[in-house]
A and B are shown apart, each in its own frame.
Chain A
Amino acid sequence: MGGGGGTARKRPGLFVLLSAAILAGLGFTGCGGDDGGGPVELKWFIAIQPGGSIQKVAETCSKESGGKYKIALELLPTDASQQREQLVRRLGAEDPSIDLIGMDVVWTAEFANAGWIRPWKGADARAATKGVFPPVVETASFDGELYGAPFNSNTQLLWYRTDLVDKPPETWNQMIEMAEKLGRGDGGTIQLQANRYEGFTVWANAMIESAGTQVLSGPTSVELKEKPTSVALESMGRLSRSSAAPTNLTTSDEDTARLGFETGSAFMVNYTFAYGSAKENAPKVAENMGAARYPGIVEGRESKPPLGGFNLGISSYSKNADLAYEAANCLTAPAQQLVVTELDGLAPARADLYDDPKVKEAFPGFADLVRESIRSAGPRPVTPAYQDVSLSIQSALHPPTKIDPDDVGPSYDELKDKVEKGVKREGLL
């Protein structure tokens, strides 16, 4: 203590310096300029794929552009909710550093309604949708306009053990009976995705669609006809309370399901990656792995299998939108879709590619089944309030063990009530 007055007078100078440093720190934002010659850099935000197909197609298209653009990758996590989180935060802040967006099929309405992505028109739109499955085009459209170029598709099949099951079941009820007859110790369990996350919405939606109704009939109108919805809920409740339900039913996801199948379950509904995984991790199981159409609800009525995949959107805040459309058209061209199928086993979005040997090799013996499954798939609801609707479905029906198969009335009422609130974005979720 007790410095001389002289030093005290000097301190304000220090103060000014410090404040200036802090203010400079606060106000300084990194805006990298990328002027100058050379190709324009287009930033593509998309989920990472383990086989390296994203890097490969980005490289091919950059090369094919003849120096017009170069695609730089910003790879996102594999989890769809985390991908969306990272994107919406940037888009909500009008971040100009995004050009191309790999959009999960359920984001289109939300992104389009918020004005984050640009519509596709004319020749670009025609090129993007040529030969594409109608349900896939539906997932890329909102309000009568196309908002994305389908990049890849995905669907769930029924996987079963040919050494334990003679003939694959056609409905969930048949499958539950067959599994119960086999018995828990002998593979009599059904693997599926019923944790409280987007995968649960996928399952519930497929059940409701397959029963002959749908969650929404328009962006803000709830359908959920009572009779078919109740039949779907009966099957969900029945399975959850049956010996055919795996012990980790209420925490199961795609990965626990494939692990359960690889270690002995006779039945599983899962995406096509499950085949490659079994071949690698459980070759003996893979030898006896049969694929069939996703089970239905009512005998005689075909199921509406789940639909996944990515569409490419063009950010509204992109400074190089013209080039971005061009790049997106290249990235979703048939040749690139085949590369993605070859390297990562993802289903092409264009129906006419399924006769290509590369697709037949990626889906040995079940390429036609995948094509048929995508063609007749039941997409999840298209609405700008999709997150709210999905959370409402999860909140109403999870855990599925609470659905009483002998009296689904209360579950139906709760589902309808919550979805109605969800689509209006009311209340907490």
Chain B
Amino acid sequence: MSDRSKSERRLGWLLCAPAAIAMLAVTAYPIGYALVLSLQQIDLRFPDESGFIGLANYKAVLTSELWWTDVFNTVFLSVISVTIELALGMAIALIMHRAIFGRGLVRTSVLIPYGIVTVVAAFSWQFAFAPDTGFVNQLPLISDDMDWFGDRFSAFAVIIMAEVWKTTPFMALLLLAGLTTIDDGLYAAAKVDGATAWQRFVRITLPLMKPAILVALLFRTLDAFRIFDTIFIMTAGAQDTQSVSILGYNQLISRLNLGLGSAVSVLIFIAVLLIAVIFVKGLGTRQPGSGKA
């Protein structure tokens, strides 16, 4: 290695160092601290009763019916909302890609829901579906007395609608980025060979977009699994609609039981890692461009 490339490499490390140090300080340290806390009995309300208790917190969480109910709720919400978002997002991406006039306007207006703070969006949806003051129950075909948040699955339905409304634009934008990488010449050639629109979509668009689709799915699934705000505003976990993040919040913030709460957080972290590994290894997500066969 020449002197010059050596010094350039060193410079590279030095330039990265501030960012790396900042990341370590704000990410690795809290994660490490949560791990340490999760192995202790530690409750801010009972400062004299703390001590190392090994894996007892994890045992308490994993043997609790509540944890598994909440895992089910979270997975259920993630799978349904991400599936709907993918289908809708794809449709919107295709429209945005084909839009001839007003491209900028279309793309900007589609993004508006994503720009709204989740808590604000959740309140808007909650007010719309409130049985006393909302407008939804005034609509035809819907019972005037319908208490949307009084039943588990009707509450899930509203939560999913709010989530889909809010995050489909994100999905659509990622997919649009994938669409723009496809060479128009391929479509022209396929047309000449007599391929139908559906065949062009299935044989050209989908395979070439696979990396973009997987990246979009991965980002949204990771996000959806950590769902908190919408549920917190709408039901606060009542009627068995609690997600794992709300469970963690209850232990940490309401009960101040840092040990148990950290165990829940670490388990959520592990679940998120698992999802990422499954997507990256199992489904073969590669960087867009490198996946072309």
Contacts and interface: CB of A to CB of B under 8 A. Distances in A.
Contacts of A197: 236, 238
B237 A196 contact: yes
Contact of A429 (B4, B46, B235, B250): B250
Given A85-B253, A85-B254, A114 B46 contact: yes
A22 B22 CA distance: 8
Given A8-B8, A428-B67, 7 more contacts: A9-B7, A196-B237, A196-B238, A197-B238, A248-B132, A259-B133, A429-B66
Interface in A375-399: 384-385, 387-388, 391, 395, 398-399
Interface stretch (B142-150, B160-168, B175-183): B142-150
Contacts of A89: 253
6 contacts: A85-B253, A89-B253, A114-B45, A196-B236, A385-B45, A427-B64
B61 interface: yes
Interface of B: 4, 7-8, 11, 14-15, 17-18, 21-22, 25, 43-47, 60-61, 64, 66-67, 131-133, 145-147, 149-150, 235-239, 247, 250-251, 253-257, 260, 264
B251 A429 contact: yes
B132 A428 contact: no
A282 to B, nearest CB: 13
B255 A387 contact: yes
Report, nearest first, the 3 A-B pairs whose CB atoms are least far apart: A196-B238, A247-B145, A92-B44
Contact of A250 (B14, B18, B61, B238): B238
Nearest to A12: B14
B94 to A, nearest CB: 39
A92 B133 CA distance: 39
A256 interface: yes
A210 B253 CA distance: 32
Contact of A92 (B14, B18, B247, B256): B256
A248 B133 CA distance: 12
A18 interface: yes
A250 B147 contact: yes
Contacts of A256: 132
A30 interface: no
Contact of A428 (B47, B145, B238, B260): B260
Nearest to A110: B45
B251 A15 contact: no
Contacts of A429: 66, 250-251, 255
Contacts of B47: 114-115
Contacts of A195: 238
Given A85-B253, A425-B257, A19 B60 contact: no
A81 interface: yes
A391 B250 contact: yes
A221 interface: no
A399 B240 CA distance: 10
Contacts of B251: 428-429
A384 B257 CA distance: 13
B11 A8 contact: yes
Nearest to B151: A250
A226 interface: no
B46 A113 contact: yes
Nearest to A399: B239
B38 to A, nearest CB: 13
A249 interface: yes
A397 B14 CA distance: 59
